[in-house]
Amino acid sequence: MVLKRAKALQEDLIRWRREIHQHPELGFQEFKTAELVAETLRSLGLRVRTNVGKTGVIGYLGEGQPVVALRADMDALPIQEANDAPYASQVPGVMHACGHDAHTAILLGVATLLRQEELPGQVRFLFQPAEEVSDEEGKSGASRMIEDGAMEGVDAILALHVDSSQPVGSIEIDGVYISAGVDTFYATVLGKGGHGAYPHRGVDTIFILGQVINAIYGIVSRRIDPVKPAVISIGSVHGGQADNVIPDRVEISGTIRSTDEKVRRKLFDELERAVGVARALGGDFELRIEEGYPVSLNDPQVASLIRRVAIDLLGEDCLHSPEPGMGAEDFGLLANLVSGAMFGLGTKIEGGQREAHSPTFDIDERALPIGAAILAEAARRYLVGEG
């Protein structure tokens, strides 16, 4: 049974995960991680391609069609780890606070399991850089790997993401929705600076900004259909240097989240209208919207395959529907090209929850073989036509 074989890899899975956790690397800087991955894949007899999408790695197992791709992201976050664990990050200000170390270790485990199988077609292991960030051209690791041919000839793609809010043995998968689309905006309110004692002689950008912020936060509640999910949040405000000087410009930036393309486009239009309040008050504005990750959707048939595998390995009680949310990730760039699905893997530590993107994030490593077994068996069934 694949789960029993995966549990026999527990020590290797933990060793890989902890090695990566101790030496985290930010997006497009995953040099040591990529080296570990490439060396491990070669030791398993896989063909390996490196420097894909800058720092990504692809492992190839088998030949011909069909081709099923399995994806793991490798990058860490700019967070100082607060855990007092023997495997805590050794890199100041950088840690694996989102579980990508576990994703990478799990996919190495899948390669170990599947190399023992005689399979029709090919399994392609995509070890992706930079899911958390974009480069100077606004492209994430998935975009860069696509440009380097990682998805050529692929028929389906599978992935998982750890969930520190759910117990070990819990699998979360939705028949359609994975994550929201995300875009970023940068706006500048322009006015005429001057002395704080004589505001009437200028055009006060701070005053104007207050009205602009109100207009922005009114978009979702008053301009978007209330049954359609949408979020606009301002994350940064920069303006002024002295307490008695009115600045001539104030800059803000924020995030836009949506799950529907029509809503997404309306948010863009309404955001320009809201920032345009600056002109009505005598100022001016500049607005730039940087389009990011699309909505990630599960293919119903591939999601159904994963559900059947999970039930067969863990029983009916393992399945749960994920709580809807507006988090985003770039798996949608891959899954929008072919049939794809992602599931959540319960990794909650007993006695407490370690929130993702927090300095205390951690996982229960007993979940590692479960993730490896489900991905391996789902890939096998897809190739032999049991999907």
Known active-site residue 293: yes
Q: Nearest Cα to 291, choosing from 184, 133, 143?
A: 184
Across 205-230, b (16+ Cβ under 10 Å) vs e yields: bbbbbebbbebbeebbeebbeeeebb
In sequence order, the 6+-apart residues with CB closer than 8 A to the CB of 372 are 6, 9, 13, 106, 107, 109, 110, 113
In sequence order, the 6+-apart residues with CB closer than 8 A to the CB of 16 are 36, 40, 104, 105, 108, 109
**What's the full length of the chain, in residues?**
387
Catalytically annotated residue among 131, 172, 270, 365: 365
Known active-site residue 365: yes
Catalytically annotated residue among 30, 131, 172, 293: 293
Phi, psi (degrees; rounded to nearest 5) at 200: -70, -15
Token digits of residue 377: 């068996």
Task: Pinpoint the alpha helices (H) of the chain.
Answer: 2-7, 10-22, 31-43, 100-114, 141-147, 205-217, 219-223, 261-275, 277-280, 300-314, 331-335, 368-383
Q: Please list the active-site residues.
A: 293, 365
